[in-house]
Amino acid sequence: MKVLCAFKTELDLNDHQRTACIKHAGAARWAYNWGLARKQEAFEAGLKTPTAIDLHRELNVLKHTEISWMYEVSKTAPQEALRNLDRAFDHFFRRVKLKKQGKLKVKVGFPKFKSKKNGIGNFQLWGAIHVHKKSIQLPRLGVLRLKESGYLPVEGARILNATISERAGRWFVSIQCEVEMPDPVRSEKPICGVDLGIARMATGSDGKVFENPKALKSNLGKIIRLQRSISRRMKGSANRKKAVQQLAKAHQKVANIRKDSIHQVTSQLSKTKSVVVLEDLNVSGMVKNHHLAQAISDVGFYEFRRQLMYKSKWYGCEVILADRFFPSSKFCSRCGYKLDKLDLKVREWDCPSCGTHHDRDLNAAYNLESLAPTTASSAGSNACEEDIRPVVIQADLDEAGTELQSARCRFV
Ligand SMILES: [Zn+2]
């Protein structure tokens, strides 16, 4: 099985290389903004808006005269930026259409100009890319040292392109490759219901609990302090710039911890289970609830689901999304009794009908597990009785994820 994979790792640049990278990112940003302005002009004049190919042709003519500095950078950087611009417009029109159909409730934003204030940005290169154990060789930039040795695939992968990006003062390269992977084997692995939570990141119906790193919460004090120190510094001053950089670093640290823990859990689940049943949580709706927003963003529900979806394809695991209105917490997994109300604060409860003592998250995980198709019943679980087993209609997650509306499961 051939899969597209991206490998991202940090670069160890010298001053000369850093300057070259900044120049490339600058050229990409310039091309994007110039292209956006050109498209707007054409639109306002009632003409056909130029595509990325038209714009690149125009750009090549300009290179001879006004923007000769662009010869210093690889031609793929501005070219890819123009393609990204086309994608931004495709995305915009797709969302406008969805909005018209009433499938999208949020505001649809028109593509914006890129500003240096929002970071140096990134650029893409393709062509002769060679990976060595401790370095990567890129067109125009030459051999760049890597901070991590042996992470990028040296053999057995066809490299399609490389993206260089900057974040909080650190530079990264991400290479997109076509990798040969062993075909997934569907073996006798257990079914697992997974309840995503705020107190704990995930609870499996096999009893396994994945604790939350609470990365943001423990670093929040620091972030608030840095935020305040920025607002005290004069606009445009060097000290303000420094403080902004520090804040960006703190934010990145949080993001890294969060991503790492999600990667560990999703890898483990997709490798060891045959079916994983998740709640299709309405993340964007939940983040609007300000009491929950911080905690939910901290756990990264959407990222969790996204990772599980692609990893499950690699390892032959099936992901089922339960309807977002399925009250997984309120049912007793032993007898099927449904509570009218269960406060978020209540972590444990006793079933008034059969008297079973329930852990809130574990009970929800049992209920989710019972949504899996009945052909294979997993051992050791106390799933629902036959008569209250819900019907599951499975659908693939669409690209935008949150925009998928159709109900997928119903109680009979
Ligand atoms: Zn009960």
From the list 279, 280, 298, 323, the catalytic residue is 279
What token pair was written down for 378? 């997993």
User: 359 C-alpha to center of ligand 1: Å?
Assistant: 12
pLDDT reported for residue 283: 63
Q: Looking at residue 342, what is its pLDDT? A: 82
What is the dihedral sign for C-alpha 22, 24, 26, 32?
negative
CA 194 to ligand 1 center in whole angstroms? 20
Judge whether 384 and 367 are in contact, CB under 8 Å: yes
Q: How far is the CA of 356 from the centre of ligand 1 (A)?
A: 6
Q: Which residue, 384, 23, 365, 71, is CA-closest to 196? A: 365
pLDDT at position 401 is 35
Rounded CA-CA distance 393/38 in Å is: 47
Give pLDDT, residue 331: 86
Expressed in angstroms and rounded, the spacing between residue 357 Cα and the centre of ligand 1 is: 9
Please say if 361 is a catalytic residue.
yes
Q: Ligand 1 mean position to 358 CA, how many Å?
A: 9
Please identify which of the residues 86, 166, 195, 298 carries the catalytic annotation: 195
Cβ(278)–Cβ(321) under 8 Å?
yes
* CA 411–ligand 1 middle distance (angstroms): 17
How much is the pTM? 0.77
> From CA 134, how far away is CA 11, in angstroms rounded?
10
Q: What's the CA-to-centroid distance between 380 and ligand 1, angstroms?
A: 18
Distance 207 CA to ligand 1 centre (A): 19
List per-residue pLDDT tens for the chain, 412 residues long.
Answer: 888 889 999 999 999 999 999 999 999 999 999 999 999 999 889 888 899 999 999 999 999 988 889 999 999 999 999 999 999 999 999 999 999 998 888 888 899 999 988 889 999 999 999 999 999 999 999 999 999 998 998 888 899 999 999 998 899 999 999 988 888 877 788 899 998 887 788 899 998 998 877 666 778 788 889 999 999 999 989 999 999 989 989 988 888 888 888 999 999 999 999 999 988 776 666 666 766 666 666 667 888 988 999 999 888 888 998 887 788 888 898 888 888 888 878 889 998 888 889 998 899 999 999 888 764 444 333 333 333 333 343 333 333 333 333 223 222 2
Is residue 279 part of the annotated active site? The answer reads yes
256 C-alpha to ligand 1 centroid (Å): 41
298 is catalytic: no
Q: What is the SS3 assignment for the chain?
A: CEEEEEEEEEEECCHHHHHHHHHHHHHHHHHHHHHHHHHHHHHHCCCCCCCHHHHHHHHHHHHHCCCHHHHHCCCHHHHHHHHHHHHHHHHHHHHHHHHHCCCCCCCCCCCCCCCHHHCCCEEEECCCCEECCCEEEECCCEEEEECCCCCCCCCCEEEEEEEEEEECCEEEEEEEEEEECCCCCCCCCCEEEEEECCCEEEEECCCCEEECCCHHHHHHHHHHHHHHHHHHCCCCCHHHHHHHHHHHHHHHHHHHHHHHHHHHHHHHHHHHCCEEEEECCCHHHHHCCHHHHHHHHHHCHHHHHHHHHHHHHHHCCEEEEECCCCCCCCECCCCCCECCCCCCCCCEEECCCCCCEEEHHHHHHHHHHCCCCCCCCCCCCCCCCHHHCCEECCCCCCCCCCCCCCCCEECC
Rounded CA-CA distance 326/236 in Å is 51
Distance 274 CA to ligand 1 centre (A): 28
**323 CA from centroid of ligand 1 (Å):** 22
Task: Report CA(235)–ligand 1 centroid distance (Å).
Answer: 61
* CA 387 / ligand 1 centre spacing (Å): 14
